[in-house]
Amino acid sequence: MTSDELRKKLQEKRGDAAYLQELFESLLGFTPKEAQFMIWLNRFDLEVCSEAIERTGEWHLINQQILAEGCITIKGKTVKLAPAQLKEYEKSESDILRYASGCMYKILKRAEGKDDIEMDDLV
């Protein structure tokens, strides 16, 4: 590949990273540095990254709802959580990034037909 071709490829990847940054911000309320998205795009394709960010947004929303309500519904029964139990649902930006990365790995493995872990097992 020539340097011009590599520059063009890099520009395309930066455009994909900008899209993912917008998606991430809209769903999760913060935006990691561009480098995080470039790393993900080096390992996974755009569709895998997008789906994983969307799943991470859903997971984060559920955690936020549990924290706001102070309870969780299990098998149709609502259970009030103690403050110590609620701490489990407090997620840092680092936790969210790890979850998104785990989702990407899981989505890739599913696409390869290697479905050995469940999405709910990712933390």
> For residue 12, what pLDDT band results from cuts at 50, 70 and 90?
very high
- What percentage of the chain reaches a pLDDT higher than 90? 86
Report how far apart, in Å, the C-alpha atoms of 2 and of each of 5, 8, 16, 42, 102 are. 5, 10, 21, 19, 34
Flag whether 70 is in a domain: no
Convert 77-115 to b/e letters by CB count within 10 Å (16 or more is b): eeeebeeeebeebebeeeebbebbbbbbbbbeeeeeeee
Report how far apart, in Å, the C-alpha atoms of 87 and of each of 62, 67, 72, 77, 96 are. 14, 8, 13, 21, 15
Q: What is the pTM of this model?
A: 0.85
Flag whether 15 is in a domain: yes
Mean pLDDT of 52-60: 98
Flag whether 83 is in a domain: no
Can you give the pLDDT at residue 116?
A: 57
Note the pLDDT tens digit of each residue in 60-98.
999 999 999 999 998 999 999 999 999 999 999 999 999
| Domain range enclosing 31 | 3-65
Residue 1, token pair as written in the block: 């590949």
Flag whether 118 is in a domain: no
Task: Indicate the number of domains in the chain.
Answer: 1
